């Protein structure tokens, strides 16, 4: 990307505030990052996304090694590195524990069924990665199997990770996914969500091309 380091840091700080206002990233949960030339800018370990300052962001290389003395990258750094490596089109990543999507993660249920045309159009589906200890190599492995095909992935008993070419698009897609998760929960309270037919789903998918 042809953005300055300061402008990227400011972008991440501002989106962190928006995530905080939505209560998508309570307390110290979650992390944010951006591709920056041949490195990555990521939130530091122990930072709070809703209250970020410049000191809460650190530049690291693609081996997840900090390039700034005294600053420790987020414990989920390898998850971000792998997403960027698998997807050259991804420039920003948001990982949060918002309530609706995290409810599906806690229930070990994906959001693959095509209940709403909007979700099919933006995501195709939102798969569920098998549980592994947060920040572990196994978590990266379990989640990375979906990186090639999907922009949003649920992580069992954990949260959600979303990547996009722009930070604004990643944020907007998170909002869409979170509201979709809540809609499905409400629909099930009313007796069950009804999926689109294969023909209807394919018509929506064709609009993505």
Q: Which residues contact 11 (CB under 8 A, 6 or more apart)?
A: 3, 34, 167
Active site residue 76: yes
3-class secondary structure, 22? coil
- Residue 11, CB-side half-sphere exposure with 13 Å CA sphere: 23
Exposed, middle or buried by CB within 10 Å (0-12, 13-18, 19+), for 110?
middle
Helices 167-189 and 5-21 pack at an angle, to 10 degrees, of 20
Give dist(CA 202, CA 204) in Å, integer. 5
Give dist(CA 183, CA 50) in Å, integer. 25
Q: Which of 11, 76, 82, 178 is catalytic?
A: 76
Residues with a catalytic annotation lie at 76
């Amino acid at each position: 990307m042809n953005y300055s380091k300061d402008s990227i840091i400011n972008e991440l700080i501002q989106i962190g505030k928006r995530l905080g206002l939505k209560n998508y990233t309570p307390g110290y949960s979650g992390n944010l990052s951006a591709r920056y030339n041949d490195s990555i800018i990521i939130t530091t370990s122990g930072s709070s996304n809703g209250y970020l300052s410049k000191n809460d962001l650190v530049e690291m290389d693609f081996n997840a090694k900090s390039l700034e003395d005294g600053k420790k990258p987020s414990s989920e750094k390898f998850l971000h590195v792998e997403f960027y490596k698998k997807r050259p089109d991804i420039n920003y990543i948001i990982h949060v524990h918002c309530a609706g999507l995290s409810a599906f993660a806690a229930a070990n249920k994906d959001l693959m069924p095509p209940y709403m045309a909007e979700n099919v159009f933006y995501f195709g589906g939102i798969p569920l990665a098998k549980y592994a200890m947060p920040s572990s190599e196994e978590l990266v492995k379990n989640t990375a199997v979906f990186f090639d095909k999907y922009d949003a992935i649920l992580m069992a008993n954990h949260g959600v990770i979303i990547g996009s070419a722009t930070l604004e698009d990643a944020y907007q897609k998170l909002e869409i996914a979170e509201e979709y998760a809540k809609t499905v929960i409400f629909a099930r309270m009313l007796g069950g969500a009804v999926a689109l037919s294969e023909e209807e789903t394919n018509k929506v998918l064709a609009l993505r091309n």
